[in-house]
Structure 1
Amino acid sequence: MSFDPRTAVTDPEAWEALDEWSGVPAFDEQPDELIVFSAHPDDETLGVGGLLARAAGAGFPARVVVAAACDDGRLDELDAALASLGLPTTPAAQPVVPLGLPDGALKHHTADLRAAIAEILDAPSEARNRLVLAPWTGDRHGDHRTLGREVVAAARERGLRILLYPVWLWQWGTPADVPWRRVREVVLDAGERTSKRTALAAFPSQLRTPENPEGVLEPGFVARAADGREVVIEPPEPADQHFERMHHERDDPWRVRTRWYERRRRAVLAASLPRERYGRAVELGCSIGETTLVLADRCDELIAVDGSASAVEAAAERLRDRPNVVVERMRVPQQWPVAADHGTDLVIVSELAYYLAEDEWDAVIDRIVGSLAPGGEVLLCHWTGDSDDFAQSGEAAHDRFRERSRLRTAVVHRDEEFVLEVLR
């Protein structure tokens, strides 16, 4: 977690009083099956316990898939909670599917997680309106982020309806952190509210009380879950579609030419390169080519790549008078510049790594290291903020690169906005 689970930044009363709620539409869909993915037992009850009670009242199937390993006592608590919500808990009903993956480390086991998600979503079903639910990817908990991203990707591949539910947002967040345009409120009736309140009491091992000071669920946090609004969130559009739309709609979607953050970052990047000149260089994620233009003056040969066709077109136009620059469209790590495998003196990865899941980032790291010429260097530069479409933080991406590549850090710059490293 990147927050203190025992400290609420915004009071429950303040959440409920927000004017923004007047513009939030009600969730009015009528699924005939629920598949709720939960990182840990109690996430599902905290997040969408009312919706699970609604499923029980309507008599359609509902299952909870628990990703992280836990002891039998936690699963017994979950069974009790689901029974309070009205769901059948007999072995034949199979309301709980435990995956048993390492707690706190789902990002290190994405292959196993993907396989398990696929098996569950591919199971035969007579439902015509299946609804898949998963933790909100912006919930600032690593397991929630990983599970949410993987479920979203798998559900979209299969054409299934997918929504996300926040758990910890109400503890660490402020109104500015909520993606209001994508929020839907699950308006609970009195019976659903009562069932959810009873179910939340079924997790004594997690409730922080004088008798259980190690519990992580503060009384006020649980009370907000019981009495406050229940919401689901539309997932953000896929990254490749998002970037293509942004570049298609605007010439400079992130104002990289004019925004001081971008101009300062480019200046620091250029000043941090240890050598005055490089032979062959590769830039991953070139966008519209502003950083590429700076690099072109320092490299004999520069290969710039991006996954957006509109970005590549803009970058190619921007660099049309630079014969030493080639701009190509490709999606890493699935694709890789062929010329880079012939020995690269410099690889630049800027504002890209946090969109890659750990196994994808690992694959990129391996390709980078494998393409380096003797004495070659890698420059990493990433914003240190957070977004609900990030697979990992910029800091985590840098940590993973150092660990996996075993390269040595030669230059480092870190401030409140971004971190930059040169490794060799």
Structure 2
Amino acid sequence: MVTFDPLVTTTPFDAWEDTSRWDAVPLRTRDWLAGFSRIVVFSAHPDDETLGVGGLLVMAGELGIDISVIVATSEREERVAELTSALSRLGSTIDLTVLGLSDGGLKHEADLLRDAVELALAARRREGTLVLAPWPGDRHGDHRTLGREVASACAVHGDRLLLYPIWMWQWGSPDDLPWERVSEVELTSSARARKRVALSMFASQMHTSENPDGVLTDEFVDRAIQGREVLFEPEANVCDDHFEALHRVSADPWSVRTRWYERRKRAITCAALPRERYARGFEIGCSNGEMSALLAERCDALLSIDTAPTAVALAAERTAAHPNVAVQWMRVPDEWPDGRFDLIVVSEVAYYLAADQWTATLDRILGSLAEGGHVVLCHWTGHADDFAQSGWDAHAAFANRTGLRVLVQHQEEDFLLEVFG
């Protein structure tokens, strides 16, 4: 599962810079910035906006552009005070709103966050507005949730949106950048200088011997000051950016083809199916198609879907020898196939869906399950930063909402497998 250590740098600063791909990256200049009359910055935590786009905000303030910063979380007055001081050092009068949602728990408050984002944008929306939000591929659960909700709201209303990374510089490498959508803000020397002073205000977050709980190392802060501020154009389906990036970097991001744990778990899942044969199967979240290939042997027809285009291509290649398999891009619960299925498989997917999305998915499943059909749930029971809920919670919610009976249950230290019917 995907996680990272904020104190461990995967790629040092020099390695980030040592690639010719930066030569082709377009620059966002001061003149480009002057074309906007308002900037609305969404930040998951106090300091994200300063780390990610602090230099841009300095230049926007110098140009007289209205700036609003909307911070989703903060349960400590100390951090809000630090943020207020930091924003004043960026050299502009900035409108600050703190939503006060749970730090580390935005995925559990998706409904509240969604409403707050809609209200914040509605109150500030006008011609010439630029919206900035965390990149959902940043591997931090709060960043992913906030980026997803802002992107969804902007897509509905046609707002101009760009995304900024924070922790990518810590866990990632140049291969993780969506280079075809990257641009760089051309920072002035005064913008970097003011950003440096602003970042020094976040004393509670600095990792020192006196403050071992701080997550900002000297190296990370120095990179934020001396390095590039980059912005990503959102994909048409920005919510899926996270998984597309994983599959682009690796054809097997979770090592499901090679790890015995994964191969054994697939075999157990197929062995748990009550019937030898199913007429029509539906697999939600096929990744690279390893489970799809096994299900193809048990279904007359199988539809396997994923939200990442690269995963769809990988799964189609893996199941090319099975003419009874169709692999499609689809994002549940918003999109859903027609017809009924007598087998629906949800494996290692549910914990990526927020509670309201999972509830809607359960209703979709019930509506398309054929009489006497089976639903298979199989999930890891551990924790990862990009989870919206636990595997335990997903299974419990399924049982409570659907009322289906548990036909098979297999529980191990690391995963839970259940077949409902």
**TM-superposition CA deviations, 1:320-351 (whole Å, max 9, x none):** x98xx9999987435767865xxx75322368
Instruction: Find the counterpart in structure 2 of residue 55 from structure 1.
Output: 60
Contact 2:108 2:389 in 1 (8 A): no
1:38 aligns with 2:39: no
**TM-superposition CA deviations, 1:272-295 (whole Å, max 9, x none):** 4433435675515599x9988975
User: How far 1:24 moved relative to its partner?
Assistant: 1.2
Unaligned runs of 5+ in 1: 90-94, 243-253
Partner amino acid, structure 1, of 2:40: I
Instruction: Find the counterpart in structure 2 of residue 137 from structure 1.
Output: 136
Question: Secondary structure, in 3 states, of the residue corresponding to 2:133?
Answer: strand
Instruction: Find the counterpart in structure 2 of residue 109 from structure 1.
Output: 109
Instruction: Find the counterpart in structure 1 of residue 166 from structure 2.
Output: 167
Instruction: Find the counterpart in structure 2 of residue 147 from structure 1.
Output: 146
**TM-superposition CA deviations, 1:35-55 (whole Å, max 9, x none):** 000000000000000011111
1:363 to 360, 364, 368: 360
Question: Secondary structure, in 3 states, of the residue corresponding to 1:184?
Answer: strand
1:5 aligns with 2:3: no
**TM-superposition CA deviations, 1:387-412 (whole Å, max 9, x none):** xxxx956x967454324224687358
Structure 1: distance between partners of 2:149 and 2:166: 17
Structure 1: distance between partners of 2:58 and 2:17: 22
User: How far 1:215 moved relative to its partner?
Assistant: 1.2
Query: Cα distance 1:210–1:265, how it changes in 2: closer, same or farther (>3 A)?
Result: closer
User: How far 1:153 moved relative to its partner?
Assistant: 1.1
Query: Cα distance 1:42–1:151, how it changes in 2: closer, same or farther (>3 A)?
Result: same
Equivalent pairs: percent with the same residue?
Answer: 42
2:376 to 378, 389, 407: 378
Taking structure 2 as the reference length, the TM-score comes to 0.74
Unaligned runs of 5+ in 2: 242-250, 400-405
Structure 2: distance between partners of 1:350 and 1:2: 19
The two structures, once aligned, show a CA RMSD in angstroms of 4.5
Instruction: Find the counterpart in structure 2 of residue 87 from structure 1.
Output: 92
**TM-superposition CA deviations, 1:209-244 (whole Å, max 9, x none):** 2332221111110111111111111122227999xx
Structure 2: distance between partners of 1:199 and 1:70: 21
Moved more, 360-369 or 6-15: 360-369
In the TM superposition, 1:257-276 aligns within 5 A as: 268=267, 271-276=270-275
User: How far 1:104 moved relative to its partner?
Assistant: 0.8
Question: Secondary structure, in 3 states, of the residue corresponding to 2:219?
Answer: helix
**TM-superposition CA deviations, 1:128-163 (whole Å, max 9, x none):** 221101111111100000000111111111111111
Structure 1: distance between partners of 2:82 and 2:356: 33
User: How far 1:169 moved relative to its partner?
Assistant: 0.8
Structure 2: distance between partners of 1:227 and 1:327: 45
Partner amino acid, structure 2, of 1:142: G
1:404 aligns with 2:397: yes
Question: Secondary structure, in 3 states, of the residue corresponding to 1:122?
Answer: helix
Structure 2: distance between partners of 1:241 and 1:214: 32
Contact 2:377 2:417 in 1 (8 A): yes
Contact 1:186 1:231 in 2 (8 A): yes
Query: Cα distance 1:266–1:236, how it changes in 2: closer, same or farther (>3 A)?
Result: farther
Query: Cα distance 1:69–1:271, how it changes in 2: closer, same or farther (>3 A)?
Result: same
Partner amino acid, structure 1, of 2:121: L
User: How far 1:363 moved relative to its partner?
Assistant: 2.1
Partner amino acid, structure 2, of 1:145: R
User: How far 1:15 moved relative to its partner?
Assistant: 1.6
Contact 1:164 1:232 in 2 (8 A): yes
Question: Secondary structure, in 3 states, of the residue corresponding to 2:136?
Answer: coil
Instruction: Find the counterpart in structure 2 of residue 99 from structure 1.
Output: 99
